[in-house]
Structure formats: C-alpha cells, structure tokens
Amino acid sequence: MLLALYLQARTHSQARLDNLLHQELPAQVEGLAAHINLSLSQDLAISESLANSYFIERWVRDGLPQERQGEVTAYLTRLMTQLETELLFIAAQYQGQGYYFQLRNGEFLQRTIQPPGNDDDWYYRFTDSDAAYELNLDSDTFSPNDAFVYVNYRSALDAPNGRPLVVAGAGLDLSEMATLIEDFRLGDNGRASLLSPEGELLVRSGETVLSEEAAESLTDQASQHLLRGDQLQVNEIERDGQTLLMSTLWLPELQRYLMVEVDKEAYLSASRDRFLESSGIGLLILLVGLLVLYPLTGKLIHPLIDFQRQLKAITHSLDLSRRVSTDDKAELGDLANQTNELLERLSRAIAAVAKILKH
C-alpha cells in the first residue's frame, strides 16, 4: 500500500509539473501582464491624445504665444484630472528650436531644449528613433531630486526639421503597477519581476526565490535564454544548486520584460506534501469509518449468525419440534417464520406416515 501511495505521489507530482509548465505558469504570466497593461492603458491613451491634440498643434504652429498659456494650462489641468498624475509635459518644435513646457502642482514652467550632449539627450534619442512612444525613467529638470517614469509620445505630424512637431506625455506614478508585481504569488514560492530590455532587474516581488546577489547575476542567463523576442517562453535555469522554472513575456506597452520564477523542487515538494496530506486525511477517514462500521456490522450480522446456529442445531438433532426464533422483524424474521412453517409441515407429514405404518 505504501509503495502504491509513493508511486501515486510521483505520478501526481509529474502531472502537476506538466500542468505548471504548459498551463498554469503561462496563464499566470499572461494574466499579470494583462493587469499591468490595463494599469497603463489610460496613461498611454491620454499621452497620445495630448501629443496629437489639434489645440496644442495650433498653439505650436502659431508660435507658442505666451498670452494663450492660460488656455494651455487649463487644458492640461483637465487632462491631469482624468489621469490622476501630477506632471504633464510638452516638447515642441518651432522654427528649428525645441521648447519644453511642464505643468506640475499648478505651475506652468518652460525652457528651451538643450543641444545634444546635455540633460535633454532623451529627447534626441527618442526623436531619432522610429518608436511611437517610450517609457523613460528621468528626473524632473525643474526639480532634479524628483524622478518620474515619463511616457514620451510623438505626434503624427513632423516639424520642418524632421523632428516630431510635438512630443508629449505624463510623468507616471507606477506604484500601482509595482504593487501588482510585488504582491504576485504563484503557489508558495512563485514570484514576479520586471526586467529592462537588457535584462536589468527593475521591480520584483518582496520575497523572491533568489537572493539579491543571485538575482543580479542571473540577468546574463536570463538575457541569453529568456529575453528573446516577444513570445511567451518557459525555461529551466540552474542557479546555485536550484532549478528555477522561468517564464518571460515582452510587454510592448511598458517596453519591459515580465518574468515569473518558480523553484521547481520547492514547488514539487509542496505538491507532494499536499497530496500526501490529503491522502493521509483520506486514510484517516477510512480508518475511522472502519472502526465505526466494524461493531455496527457485527451487530447487524449477529441475528443471522444466531439464526444459522439454531438451524444447525435442529439439523444435527433432527428434532422437528424445535423452532428458530429471532428479534428481527424484516427479511430475517420472515425467513424464520417460513422456516418454522416448513418444520411444522415436515413434523406433521412424518407423524402421518408413522401413523399409517402402525396400521
């Protein structure tokens, strides 16, 4: 029985592992990715709307007149209310010169965009690319101690110098997204992380499978085996004697990799423990059932045994005057009555035969 239970536990563990690799792990990664994308969808939509706003386009083409800045401030304030962000910005091109505008805490600030090689290299790097938008971690140039993740969204229209007429977006508070990742759990040991395109660890669950040092040194392996293309991938990675099941998915909206890691042996061990625990509970219930049923069964079959004993005594003694008795009022009682009737008839028949023989 113990061997059968062991083999069944192994089979159960393998089935759980197959389910984890082909169903549960991919589904969990895609589900977490959907929640993250949902948390960013409004930010991206409003940033795109701002970059392609006809109102902002006319203001830029009219030369960014200062007397209309109040209208621009009111327009940006309404967008900020929808987005629940504390910072919106506009980087515009007019007559070959770049201008940067920012609304934060009700204050509308402006400056010229610096030439390449300075703090505004993000602008040139983005506008030289073909990307429609990007997420960029940077500090507020007016308050360098404050950092934001900026959504840089380019307008569909270009200025005469070939750069986008407008680059605009929001400074995001990613605490909701970070909370989604930090609070993620898969079983007892599955954790999630967010990686840069180069494999740099950005955000991860509070208690990851890996130590801080191991997580940092893992990124080279992750880059080689996992960070390939934009398709969901599941692989095994060996690290410090641990076998980790890792699934990665490219998030185009965030331009980052989402990674979920599970300690294979810990997962299988937990699965086996749960199976053995449930099997043990089942065996305990079975044992209790047997302990309850044994005396009950004995009580139920006692009338039958007594009936059999009485019938055997009559058979051995050939005393047809004896009768069987039972307290049972159901089937056994009916059988006893029929048996007694049979004995009565046999007794009368034998008596009649004996009487005839005497004459």
Per-residue pLDDT tens digits for 206-240: 554 444 444 444 445 555 555 555 667 777 777 67
Place of tokens 């984890």: 20
Rounded to whole angstroms, the Cα distance separating 198 from 136 reads: 14
Helices 331-358 and 264-317, interaxial angle, to 10°?
Answer: 20
Per-residue pLDDT tens digits for 17-33: 777 777 888 888 888 88
Which residue would you say has higher pLDDT here, 126 or 307? 126
Q: Answer yes or no: is pLDDT of 125 > 50.
A: yes
Q: Residue 276: what pLDDT?
A: 59
Which residue would you say has higher pLDDT here, 127 or 354? 127
Question: Strand, coil or helix: what is 124?
Answer: helix
Mean pLDDT, the chain, as a whole number? 80
Q: Answer yes or no: is pLDDT of 195 > 70.
A: yes
Which ranges of the chain would DSSP assign to H, the alpha helix?
Answer: 2-19, 25-51, 54-61, 69-83, 121-127, 175-182, 212-225, 264-317, 331-358
> Residue 277: which pLDDT band, with cuts at 50, 70 and 90?
low
> Residue 123: which pLDDT band, with cuts at 50, 70 and 90?
very high
Q: Residue 282: what pLDDT?
A: 75
Choose the weakest-confidence range: 55-59, 88-92, 132-136, 155-159.
132-136
Instruction: Give the residue from 233, 240, 265 showing the smallest Cα distance to 17.
Output: 265
Percent of the chain residues topping a pLDDT of 70:
84
Q: Residue 51: what pLDDT?
A: 96
Rounded to whole angstroms, the Cα distance separating 40 from 124 reads: 24
Q: Residue 211: what pLDDT?
A: 42
